[in-house]
Amino acid sequence: MTTIFPTDTDRLRETVDFVREQDATTLLPLLLPGLDALELRALVDRCRFAHAAVLIFPPTPAALRTVLADCGLSADAAPQPSVVVRDRLAARHRRDAADLDVHIHRPRVTGPAGTGRSVEVFALTVPPGSDLAPIAAHERARDHEAHVAFEVDRPDPLVLRGMCALLARHGALADGGGYNPHEDGTVLYFTAPAAAKTGYRRIELYAPGDHRDVLATHLDAYRARHSAETLLRLMTGAWTTQALAVFADLRLPDTLHPEAATSTEALAHAVGADPDTLATLLRYLAMLGVVASDRDGHRLTALGALLRADAPDSLRPLALMYGGPFYRSFGALGHTVRTGEPAFDHLFGENHFDHFARHPDLAELFDRSMAASSRMFEPLTAHPAVTAGHTVPRPRTVVDIAGGNGALLGRLLTAHPHLRGVLLERPHVVEAARRTLDTAGLDGRCAYLAGDFADVPPGGDVYVLSRILHDWDDDRCREILRHCARAMHADADLLIVERVLPTDDSPSLATAWDLHMRCNVGGRERRADHYARLLADAGLTLVGRTPLPLEGTVLHARRADTPQPTDN
């Protein structure tokens, strides 16, 4: 039997009815059954029932307006961003908060005796096929963000602390919170006690104004309760890496379907696995949102579909690489931290370039894993240095230095028929790149050069170093950049694609990749000003930087003796 969850409209309509019927006097005893009459009066005198909240996932802003209208509500003209719910979702689903554009609508509802209150509607737009779909499915099933809220009248620190203590005395546990600068309000969340007699399991105290001193104490209690669980989840990150690698290696993404469910027994027979253990793996993957499971079997989610072998820009090679040789060398991370030397070299007795060159299967996997992130490259096709060729009479030439299997160069040549290409790579890679570009019908527009960085050819109009400099220490980077500078004519452009470290300690994929590069490759990620210094040492000038998907950046450089345009 398939589990069917209420639609967003049904969930919102139920919330509206609840808000219209309840008030603080009747609702607080349901949430905190142990309250005596004096305690109830103390709370009712200091706060009022303000709203009930629900998180919904419309496919478009227009669909959100339709859902609200179907429930007799109107959308706010200018909804506020939800910092608190956004950050909670990001932490719960291990996503970058910047990817979660959560907004709050607060349509008004009339309660008993004409009292005014609202329904708090958190909305995260999830278009069809979006990789946010697993988040929507998980949240609809569990309703983590559903809560009832009480607004504190004339809040001061003493009143807030007293109310928090009273809720705690009756079994309500600190469950996070935050300060929203967009509306100058402080939110304190609690988990209702197990004895609560309402379907809502979370309580919010909302205090207008900045009360971050009280919030800090509240969050300390929350962290103390969750710190061991949080640490356990962090410790088991390696299990996730291996679960995804095995999922990809068994080609389960290619066997599963996004709509029709497949039983565990049928999957086990198809991929040659033990049914009981496979069922455990699939339960774990369902928790991650990679598959969806019910009594009928298992389906592939949009997130899991990225691991299909035939998916555009499939991430399957990355899963196999991170779960294979790089997983083994990360087990020796301690060697890198103690000595500063790559753990890969220590474990395998040679650097990864030489090791992969001697093992053709690994070399092919590595090149495919590099191409797996090629979705990062799409905006690069519109970079001014690339599109400039439309305005000049002669064909322009793009030189892709250490261009791997030609995935990036292929995108550029396909997007711009006026371009010609040169791919410089190691001899054993050049033939693979030739096959890739020939298959794409680009064989007549691309030349191939087997060699090293010292062989960067002159005559190019655009030179590309895509995820190359992070493989090397500063001295080697300067050497590579000098080879580029010598080859570049006065009007040539150099485009460097890397993940750039933030200037502060804000979360970033570049920070994770910095550790990976040091452990497995012997390189490192860098800040933009660090790259600018390396370029200057080579006679080049950084003239612009542009963000790319997957937290990439394209750094635009030109010769220092050339008049410098700038780009954003």
Contact of 84 with 178, CB cutoff 8 Å? yes
Strands (E), 360-516: 396-401, 419-425, 446-450, 462-466, 493-498
The domain locations on the chain are 8-233, 236-311, 312-371, 373-559
Which CATH number is associated with domain 312-371? 1.10.287
- Edge to edge, the sheet with strand 419-425 lists 446-450, 419-425, 396-401, 462-466, 493-498, 552-559, 540-548
- Give CA–CA dist 423/450, Å, rounded: 8
Contact of 127 with 60, CB cutoff 8 Å? yes
- Give CA–CA dist 322/201, Å, rounded: 39
CA 61 to chain centre: 22
Give me the mean pLDDT over the 399-406 stretch.
Answer: 92
How many of the other CB atoms lie within 10 Å of CB of 468? 20
pLDDT per position as a tens digit, 138-162: 888 888 899 999 999 989 999 999 9
pLDDT at 399: 97
The catalytic residue positions are 470
The dihedral built from the CA positions of residue 269, 270, 274 and 278, taken in this order, carries a sign that is negative
Determine the residue type at 33: P
CA 105 to chain centre: 25
pLDDT at 566 over 80: no
Pick the CATH number of 8-233 from 3.10.180.10, 3.40.30.10, 3.10.129.10, 3.40.50.2300: 3.10.180.10
Number of C-alpha atoms within 13 angstroms, CB side, residue 347? 19
pLDDT at 4 over 50: no
Q: Residue 523 carries which DSSP code?
A: -
Give me the mean pLDDT over the 176-198 stretch.
Answer: 90
Q: How far, in Å, are 272, 275, 346, 500, 507 from residue 512 at the CA level? A: 35, 35, 21, 11, 9
pLDDT at 392: 53
What token pair was written down for 268?
């086990």
What token pair was written down for 541?
């000038």
The partner residues of 123 in beta bridges, in order of sequence, read 56, 103
Residues 6 or more apart whose Cβ sits within 8 Å of residue 507: 96, 97
Q: How far, in Å, are 229, 269, 541 from residue 215 at the CA level? A: 21, 54, 47
pLDDT bracket for residue 389 (50, 70, 90)? low
Give me the mean pLDDT over the 295-316 stretch.
Answer: 90
pLDDT per position as a tens digit, 436-489: 888 888 878 999 999 999 999 999 999 999 999 999 999 999 999 999 999 999
pLDDT at 563 over 70: no
pLDDT at 293 over 90: no
- Give CA–CA dist 202/174, Å, rounded: 10
Contact of 262 with 256, CB cutoff 8 Å? yes
pLDDT bracket for residue 328 (50, 70, 90)? very high
Task: Kindly provide the b/e burial profile for residues 314-339, where b requires at least 16 CB atoms within 10 angstroms of the residue's own CB.
Answer: bbbbbbbbbbbbbbebbebeebbeee
Averaged pLDDT score across all residues of the chain: 90
pLDDT per position as a tens digit, 532-553: 999 999 999 999 999 988 889 9
pLDDT at 426: 87
Residues 6 or more apart whose Cβ sits within 8 Å of residue 55: 85, 122, 123, 124, 139, 143, 144, 145, 146
pLDDT per position as a tens digit, 419-430: 999 999 988 888
pLDDT at 35: 93
Which CATH number is associated with domain 373-559? 3.40.50.150
pLDDT at 564 over 70: no
What is the helix, strand, coil percentage profile of the chain, to 5?
A: 50, 20, 30
Q: Give the DSSP letter string of 43-88.
A: HHHHEEEEEEEEEE--SSHHHHHHHHHHTT----SSPEE-HHHHHH
Give me the mean pLDDT over the 553-557 stretch.
Answer: 95
Of all helices (H) and strands (E), which one includes residue 518? helix 509-520
Q: Give the DSSP letter string of 334-376.
A: HHHHHHSS-HHHHHHSS-HHHHHHH-HHHHHHHHHHHHTTGGG
- Give CA–CA dist 68/64, Å, rounded: 6
- The fold of 236-311 is Arc Repressor Mutant, subunit A (1.10.10)
pLDDT per position as a tens digit, 51-65: 999 999 999 988 999
pLDDT bracket for residue 76 (50, 70, 90)? low
